[in-house]
Structure 1
Amino acid sequence: MLTAMTHATSPELSVLHALRVTGVAGDAAVSRRSGINQDIASELLRDFEAYGWVTHVEFGDTSGWTLTESGRDQDSRKLAEELDRAGGRATVEQAHKEFEVLNGRLVKACTDWQLRPAEGDRLASNDHSDPQWDGRVLDELTVIGAELTRLIDALVSVLARFGGYADRFGAALARARAGDGQWVAGVGVASCHAVWMELHEDLLSTLGIPRGVEPGSR
């Protein structure tokens, strides 16, 4: 729920930052991720291309927009300005600390979904033939999802753009529980792991923390 103190991100930053957290995305995906009308998002992307902030790439079956180094710098500047205007640094820093505690559990759960150690092979792939093993993983993800909801509620109290992460995580988990296992850690879909990685990038970029220099990182 948004509060009177919640800061609404500008359409320009919403579109630019959507690429920061997704990496590569087409117009429609940027529109969905940013919550900005597709016509407006498309116009902004082409403006950003003219400014040298984004470029269109193609590799294999994937194509879309991605940030240039100049675009990342612009996004970082705008995020810092927004955070100062919102007066939300302490809230985001606390959320990041709590996220880091949960991150280890999320990584382990996704690893357990992909691997199920067997005698003589501790890296054996999980063939999902053990409902008890998979059920334990899904239960852990459910607990993590509840913690994520609380964390996102705190973030949204200062920055509205953090809204949606918990819902997207929950939607992916529901699909996994319904029998489609790719929604736990699959690539190319908004799986639990994919949503989690986007949130991680969002927190780091908002606080101006380069990857690899967080406390406890190696």
Structure 2
Amino acid sequence: MAQKLQSDAYREELINKIKENYLSVALGFLVFLVAVTLIYRSTSARQKAQMEQDQAQEQMEQKTNVHVVKAGESVSSIARDVLGSTEYADEIIAANSLKNPEVIEVGQELILPEVSGMQTTPAVTQPAATAAPTAAPAVKMEDKGGTTTSTTTGKITANTYVVQKGDTLMTIAERAYGNKSMYTRIMSANGIRNMNRIEVGMTLKLPR
């Protein structure tokens, strides 16, 4: 009888130790779970803050490369005057998802691609002259070969034309044929593949 009681007491003591160990393990696991949760939340918050900072930085960088369209400008002239070459016209078109590069409005903001040598220094305003002479209006002139050379307005009647600043194939076609959609005829006659890549001083054939 005494041996049985001793055995029961030992069993009960063993069960109590197992319970204590189980509670210790459960408590340790709970502490571990809470620690992991806190670390995850802290990491997520830092990642979110970093992402927002990166987005703000990207928007700021893009904003510094924005060009506001002025009167008489085209995608080609902006690429030439601001980025240094009309070869960047395609990149401007792609960066702004322009469906019709010939249709840009005064005051429109265009995102410009990053280019080494890009003109970012603002122009210095010169003091107005006290007695500046009035500039003479542009005069349409033709040489002996029938080439229009010095105006960007008015009808073109010659068979060739020298490209002036601000010209586009569509404006030249409208002045030469009365229909700007006929710029494709000029492209074909001059072997031009990209309508935005014409240079000032280039002589274009105007088939009649």
TM range (shorter): under 0.3
Q: Could you tell me the TM-score, scaled by structure 1's length?
A: 0.26
Higher helix share: 1
Q: Could you tell me the TM-score, scaled by structure 2's length?
A: 0.27
**Higher normalized contact order (CA 8 Å, seq sep 6+, divided by chain length):** 1
Structure number, greater radius of gyration: 2
